[in-house]
A and B are shown apart, each in its own frame.
Chain A
Amino acid sequence: MQKKIFLSAFLALVLGSSAVYAESEKVPSLDWSFKGVFGTFDRGALKRGFQIYSEVCSACHSLRLLSYRNLKEIGFSKNEIKAIAAEKEVQDGPNDDGEMFMRPAKPADRFVSPYPNKKAAQAANNGALPPDLSLIVKARKGGADYIHALLTGYKDEPPKGFNLLEGSNYNIYFPGNQIAMPAPLSDDAVEYADGTKPTLDQLARDISTFLAWTSSPELEARKSMGIKVILFLLVLTGMLYALMKRIWAKLH
């Protein structure tokens, strides 16, 4: 929607469209809480999304650009964050004896990745590398719409004549329609504490909202500052226009 506002004919022509994802289904556009000039993240969706990440995604996908302390921004308390961090172990050291040692993670630590390195991740996943999710919404055309579509776009059976490779899964939204990741979510995949019904669509919306936040944690600060700045500029520019008219009226 924002794009449409700013899209001048010039840019439409110059930017054009590329045909990268032409072969797969068109990603439906959803109504996100963080969309638009006044959009903010739905706090409930963020917390539920974090729960999905912790219980499902984090088994394979890292979130390496985030620290546990960042969870404060989505409404977790200091103690809750300490407890969440302490569930994971990180290597520290060397200590006074020159030994490396393991300790529980602290709020200042980065999210602990599920695998020690890329090779380990690939070895555990049939050669495919589960991408880091920190920036995934900004790193895919379609953003949150695409993540939601991907998570809900699995089909049990590929269409007749489609040659699905061994270990691949059929997804109508993935470029090429063959994705190494098996459908990670389904109805009731997690149990929500706040009573929200965990349908597949709801789960996909919640995790997409959470990942939109991990991609753009500055979004709310940015938009709220933007509204003030633009309002100020509109008034200032209006006054400058009046002043200009006045000064130029002296001419002749």
Chain B
Amino acid sequence: MSHSTKEFSNPVIRWIEYRLPIFSFIDSSVGTGYPTPRNLNYWWNFGSLAGVVLVIMILTGVMLAANYTANVGYAFESVERIMRDVNYGWLLRYLHSNGSSMFFIIVYIHMFRGLYFGSYKAPRELLWILGVFIILAMMATAFMGYVLPWGQMSFWGATVITNLFSAIPLIGESIVTWLWGGFSVANPTLNRFFAWHYLLPFILFALVFIHLWALHVHKSNNPLGIDAKGAGDMIPFHPYYTIKDTFGMGVFMIIYLSFVFFAPDFFGEPDNYIKANPMVTPPEIVPEWYFLPFYAILRAITFNIFFIPAKLIGVIAMFSSILILLFLPWLDRCKVRSARFRPLYKQFFWIFVLDTLILGYVGANPPQGLFIPIGQAATAYYFAHFLIIIPLLGVLEKTKPLPESISAAVTESGTSGKENG
């Protein structure tokens, strides 16, 4: 990473800087020495917000772990002890449990922003791919975290999801036994899930670091999706985006903490306040809301294809729905990044957003009646979007003319910040 040649007047800072150039590193990363497109709108707030939530999750998580017991006999009770007897334990736990929902809302918006403005295109392919790994690590972390309170949904969710791996031919059963640490979801499962739930966020943190490293090479994309040409296109990150990100964080905290303080169980399932009982299956096993679209894709496959069983296809479809994003930079052949200049893609983008919402709605409902064909159609469309529509648009779409430069577009019509996509 290139460091700015910023001069510091404070003698202590100069002494440290000479030996460890940390101040110029900060300056060139998030300070006056980091150039940023001048036209970023509020959709660009969600990256830094995700970082803030990750830090909140790690801090509250470490403090919760200090009071939690990973044993089937005590897990549920230790969580209730946190809620009732640990000083501000209820605050820590509600920050953490609602924080996971917020994390997913933010990251999903962050991803849709990338899709809309073409942030995955050259030269940011690796940046995007690292992001896909980040969402995968997030999902694994969230799934295992949900098991820890050892309520009914914890137990049965863990049972359903770990069982999916048994669909893998030949080694599936062995993988499941290894995940469980035995022959059913039981104490060894809880114990290892706790260990992994504590480990994964640090891997996530490392991935985020590399994600930012890649970001800082070619800098942020922008709503126009064109490369910065002159000095007039860029402004220093500090103070312009430090203040904008801080303001965004204020708005976010109001929303997040309103849930924490006034509706802390809004995102939760009542059944998870019943202690896990392997002898009683809940009437309906539903995953956390942020997994619902993927759950719908999993359940959409109700038919065998030749000799491949439906369950295996469902599992493949579910994982593919995320892994397909890895190939997006090459599926999309269109050179124009931003949907603002792609009239057709813009419409298909919103249809795709609607499709994921329909999948989420289907995932929340029992697989019966109309929900089955709707789920199947929405699943088919999900994949068609990436495999048919996007490649075709890359060839067929007639894009609108791109502006001369960022500054020309911004100063001419004053669209900066007005149009949010």
Contact = CB atoms under 8 A, between A and B. Distances in A.
Interface string A209-234: 00000010110011101110110011
B262 A2 contact: yes
B123 to A, nearest CB: 27
Contact of A15 (B253, B262, B289): B289
Contacts of A102: none
A103 B301 CA distance: 61
Interface stretch (B8-16, B77-85, B207-215): B77-85
Given A3-B266, A10-B357, A251-B38, A139 B273 contact: yes
Contacts of B77: 65
A226 B260 contact: yes
B286 interface: yes
A72 interface: no
B261 A248 contact: no
A9 B91 CA distance: 27
B243 A226 contact: no
A226 B286 CA distance: 30
Given A18-B366, A141-B270, A251-B38, A135 B80 contact: yes
A222 B247 contact: no
A144 to B, nearest CB: 12
**Top 5 nearest A-B pairs by Cβ distance?**
A226-B261, A237-B250, A16-B364, A139-B273, A14-B360
A17 B364 CA distance: 7
B361 A243 contact: no
Contacts of A20: 283-284
Given A13-B357, A247-B240, A251-B235, A223 B283 contact: no
A215 B264 CA distance: 13
Interface string B238-277: 0110011011001101100111111111100011011000
B254 A13 contact: no
B354 to A, nearest CB: 9
Given A6-B266, A229-B257, A240 B357 contact: no
B237 interface: no
Given A13-B360, A229-B261, A248 B253 contact: no
Contact of A175 (B257, B258, B283, B366): B283
B274 A139 contact: yes
B406 interface: no
Contacts of A155: none
Contacts of A244: 243-244, 246-247
Contact of A233 (B257, B266, B292): B257
Contacts of B174: none
Given A226-B261, A230-B257, A13 B80 contact: no
Interface in A233-250: 233-234, 236-237, 240-241, 243-244, 247-248
Interface residues of B, number: 45
Nearest to A11: B289
B411 interface: yes
A227 B262 CA distance: 9
Contact of B273 (A13, A18, A135): A135
A2 B240 contact: no
Given A65-B77, A237-B250, A2 B263 contact: yes
Contacts of A18: 284, 286, 364-366
Most buried by A among B274, B286, B365: B274
A252 interface: yes
Contact of B292 (A14, A17, A215, A240): A14
Most buried by A among B240, B250, B361: B250
Contacts of B261: 222-223, 225-227, 229-230
A78 interface: no
Contact of A138 (B240, B243, B273): B273
A233 B411 CA distance: 34
A19 interface: yes
B270 to A, nearest CB: 5
Contacts of A241: 247, 250
A13 B362 CA distance: 9
A14 B359 CA distance: 8
A70 B81 CA distance: 13
Nearest to B243: A244
B84 A226 contact: no
A37 interface: yes
Contacts of B352: none
A197 interface: no
Contacts of A221: 90
B364 A14 contact: yes
Contacts of A240: 243, 246-247, 250
Contact of A248 (B240, B361, B364): B240
Given A226-B262, A236-B250, A139 B270 contact: yes
Interface in A1-58: 2-3, 6, 10-11, 13-20, 37
Nearest to B81: A65
A225 B261 CA distance: 8
A119 interface: no
Contacts of B265: 138
Nearest to B365: A16
Interface in B329-373: 357, 360-361, 364-366
A169 to B, nearest CB: 20
B291 to A, nearest CB: 11
Contact of A230 (B239, B247, B258, B263): B258
B259 A6 contact: yes
A13 B361 CA distance: 6
A240 B45 CA distance: 14
A252 B243 CA distance: 17
A15 B365 CA distance: 9
A10 B271 CA distance: 23
Given A13-B360, A14-B360, A244-B243, 20 more contacts: A6-B258, A6-B266, A13-B357, A16-B365, A18-B365, A19-B365, A20-B284, A65-B77, A135-B273, A140-B270, A143-B270, A218-B83, A218-B84, A222-B91, A223-B261, A226-B258, A227-B261, A237-B253, A240-B246, A251-B240
